[in-house]
Chains A and B, each alone.
Chain A
Amino acid sequence: MIRIVTARLIDLAFVLIGISLLVFCMIRFIPGDAVAIMLGANTEVTPDRVAALRSQLGLDQPLLLQYGRWAWAALHGDLGTSLWTGRPVVDEITLHIWPTLQLTILALALGAGLSIPAGCLMARLRGGTADTLLRLGSVAGLTIPSFWLGIVMILALATLAPSLQLLGYVPFFDDPLGNIARLLLPAICLALPILANLSRLVRSALLEALGQDYIRTARAKGLGEALVLYRHALANAMIPFVTSLGIMTGYLLGGAIVVEQVFAIPGLGRLILGAISERNYPLLQAVTLLVTAGFVMVNFAVDLLYRVIDPRLRG
């Protein structure tokens, strides 16, 4: 167990370094650098001012040196300051991570929470027309574009409930009810594919388990169909369930860019989009690293969790 964890940790470090290097290079290959954007279009700027600004920001140094400096500082917990506002990058992230976290949790709770009863229902109705319809519905749920759904929701809001004042974001501690009410629509938007995906998972895991000996035994012992489903078969669905949950958490943390945009939620997705268009190198590096590292860590944790859930993998 310890050996495996160590090996995975080494791989993890490799992946994190790779990611930071990739991000660093990628954003600097984007044409149009920070200085050009900072100076804006149709403003008067002389070449020596451009040069001065570049050297102030350290952008005139060799790439590898810039990376080395950044990585060294990052290792010491200093992620630098935003190119534009001069605020520490950590502060920018702190401000934006909270709405995204909340949205993620709400979407997961909605999607995963509903998926278990939905999956059970689908399993119980197996083979019937209702099963087929539910299945078509779940495929639709998986393939509905979330950015489109967001726009349709806004359209519906405008036509059906024009006086509802539910836009933007208020911090939870200012107004707990208002906070959740405002996050509900975007959370539903994000939860739909999660619900579709997980309920199918639950369904197929249940069906598979139902065919197995221990379930037949349980049934033979006279336990009710419902109890058989929930008690015994559900445990079997846990592994793929947790895996999918892990991957989805990672993606959700990456910021649902368009959904945040449509519902005006000041989260990580907006921060990332802004950082790209402003070429805010330190900010973009830090956020991307944070998001991808978060993704890798969640999956690492899921990996460990497997071994806890399933004794066969413990070796």
Chain B
Amino acid sequence: MAAMSLRNILLTGAMLCALAGAPGARAQILEVGVDASPVGLDPHLITAFPSFQVVSGTIYEGLTAIDKDLRVQPGLAASWTVSPDGKIYVFKLRPGMHFHDGSPVEAADVVASIHRVQSKDMASPMASRVGTVAQATAIDATTVELKLSEPTAPLLISIATIAIVPRGFENDKASLQKAPVGTGPFKFKEWQPNGFIALTKFDGYWRAGAPKLDGVKFNIVPESATRQVGISSGQFSMLANIDAATAMQLKGKPNVRLAETLELAYSLIGMNTSKPPFDNAKVREALNYALNRQEIIAAALFGAGVPGGPLSPALKDWAADTSSFPCYKYDPAKAMALLKEAGVPMPVVITMNVLPRQDIKDIAQVAQAQLNKAGFKVELKNQELGQFIQDWRNSAFDSFASTNGGSTDPDDYFYRTFRTGGSTNVFKYSNPEVDQLLDSARQMPDQAERKKAYTKVQAILACQGPIAHIAYGQIFSALRSNVAGFDQIANRSLVTLSDASIAK
């Protein structure tokens, strides 16, 4: 044992010597402070946000891209056509693109990437996003054809999240986790776990003039106060995706400015509809009346957020206004009356699992106090992440307080969450009317018709659904005042780093 650690020390010494020669001076490296270390960098295998933050849009790109208004834009594909029945998509790739390893980006790579995501062996958590793709073919070097088993309205949005990797990794689960190879503006340089991840400018990037930076270094600093010290002192030029509490503390600091936007993610209270008391729709409605969303926002989000319905107000094309939901008006008396009507013994004793994140813990504590005033008796269970996920997956909860990432298309979220038997319907919610609406909406090519269906769905879900949507928060990034060109995006992607620059 002693011999082994000695060897390690020597090894470390050797590696450190090798690193010592790295260039440092003059280059425009953006020092970013982030809170958590990625656990892997394979774009088809990662599930955690710290990983996405580092690779999405920076190292990896998809055929399509999502802009800051959350609309679909051309990505690696310059253009595409859709057959009239909505079942055949043909994508035309931009000419002359290269991967970071120097090989050209060809249709065969796109096909290989889609197969990789669909492969059973890979067990990619993104498989369902291309679940309806029955056949992917490379027509020629720059043309890809996708044949769908059924019309899938959200395909262009889903496909934006499927990173294109070089062919040859279809059976390789390990390599890309450690050393990603993509098409994005930055290429992977070095990863010191729990220390930093360094990316460097990709000279062969397809978009002329981008990126402006010579590199980006993500420094992993778990303690919020420490990150704040880092940006105040100028050691970091950016704190990416910080919450309201951190942003409030940085407001007005010299040489620091905040970029912000309304987030796609939202906080929620989920209810298990397969057992009492939340099997009763009246009890779920009562919970909604008992919540004072404005107070929760003021307390846990420092006022930086808006009450939200089932869809984020950031999705301007789809979201119904919360004023149309009667239960969003705080009314504890009405909540009590509903509980009485439901005939459940009062106070209604429930447990609430809490996701281990400070803003969610605060939301849960405020919600607990509010619910306890309206006929409930809530016991909070603050869980460790692994336990929380396990209970979530097994539907082992009365209720839980958590946050969801949010989707850019209503179908992606609604279908898997609220459809009977949906893959993330851990609430065991089943409502034939909702099922019917969701089934038909995903096959409607007409936007206006789809919107009508989803408005109806939102009305049903808002007050009696298995999720009490609480609030959509503002998401912030703090920047040194000499950093220009970065835009905060609602889905937390750092894709606009390609246009960022540091003034001397």
A residues with CB within 8 A of B: 30-33, 36-46, 48-49, 52-53, 56, 77, 84-87, 90, 92-98, 101, 151, 154-155, 157-158, 162-169, 171-174, 261-264, 266-267, 270-271, 274, 277-279, 290, 293-294, 297
Contact = CB atoms under 8 A, between A and B. Distances in A.
Contact of B17 (A49, A166, A173, A264): A173
A164 B246 CA distance: 20
Given A52-B120, A174-B20, A90 B386 contact: no
Contacts of B229: 154, 157-158, 162, 167
Interface in B1-16: 1-2, 4-5, 8-9, 11-13, 15-16
Contacts of A158: 225, 228-229, 232
Given A95-B195, A173-B20, 10 more contacts: A97-B5, A154-B226, A162-B229, A165-B230, A166-B235, A167-B221, A167-B233, A168-B235, A279-B386, A297-B2
Nearest to B2: A297
Contacts of B123: 49, 52-53, 56
B433 to A, nearest CB: 23
Q: Give me the 8 closest cross-chain CB pairs, A-B, nearest first.
A: A32-B386, A40-B47, A86-B174, A266-B195, A266-B194, A32-B390, A165-B235, A44-B423
A37 B12 CA distance: 30
A300 to B, nearest CB: 10
15 contacts: A31-B387, A32-B390, A41-B389, A42-B402, A84-B177, A86-B174, A86-B178, A94-B12, A95-B192, A158-B228, A164-B233, A168-B235, A169-B195, A173-B17, A293-B1
Contacts of B324: none
A109 B249 CA distance: 37
B223 A165 contact: no
A168 B423 CA distance: 41
Nearest to B394: A36
Contacts of A165: 230, 233-235
B358 interface: no
Given A43-B125, A151-B225, A266 B47 contact: no
A174 B16 contact: yes
Contacts of B402: 41-42
Given A96-B194, A97-B9, A264 B223 contact: yes
B424 A42 contact: yes
B135 interface: no
Contacts of B178: 85-87
A277 B8 contact: no
Contact of A36 (B220, B234, B386): B386
A44 to B, nearest CB: 4
Given A52-B120, A85-B40, A98-B9, A41 B235 contact: no
B29 to A, nearest CB: 14
Contact of B1 (A37, A84, A290): A290
Contacts of A56: 123
Contact of B195 (A43, A155, A168): A168
B394 to A, nearest CB: 9
Contacts of B424: 42-44
A90 B9 CA distance: 11
B366 to A, nearest CB: 22
Contact of B47 (A38, A52, A95, A168): A38
A172 B16 contact: yes
A196 to B, nearest CB: 25
Contact of A171 (B1, B19, B125, B127): B19
B39 A278 contact: yes
A301 B174 CA distance: 40
Contact of B16 (A77, A86, A98, A262): A98
Interface string B415-452: 01000000110000000000000000000000000000
B222 A173 contact: no
B79 interface: no
Nearest to B229: A158
A97 B192 CA distance: 12
A266 B220 CA distance: 9
A90 B232 contact: no
A16 to B, nearest CB: 8
A43 B47 contact: yes
B381 to A, nearest CB: 12
B9 A86 contact: no
A266 B196 CA distance: 9
A44 B9 contact: no
Given A162-B233, A264-B219, A31 B16 contact: no
A31 B404 contact: no
A169 B39 CA distance: 20
Contacts of A44: 125, 127-128, 416, 423-424
B47 A97 contact: no
A182 to B, nearest CB: 10
Contacts of B13: 173
A154 B227 CA distance: 10
B24 to A, nearest CB: 8
A84 B233 contact: no
Contacts of B5: 97, 290, 294
Contact of B388 (A41, A48, A264, A267): A41
Contact of B423 (A30, A46, A294): A46
A243 B29 CA distance: 48
Nearest to A32: B386
B177 A42 contact: no
B125 A45 contact: yes
Contact of A90 (B8, B125, B384): B8
A208 to B, nearest CB: 35
A261 B35 CA distance: 10
B343 interface: no
B40 A32 contact: no
Contact of B223 (A31, A262, A267): A262
Interface in B226-278: 226, 228-230, 232-235
B223 A163 contact: no
Contacts of A167: 221, 226, 229-230, 233, 235
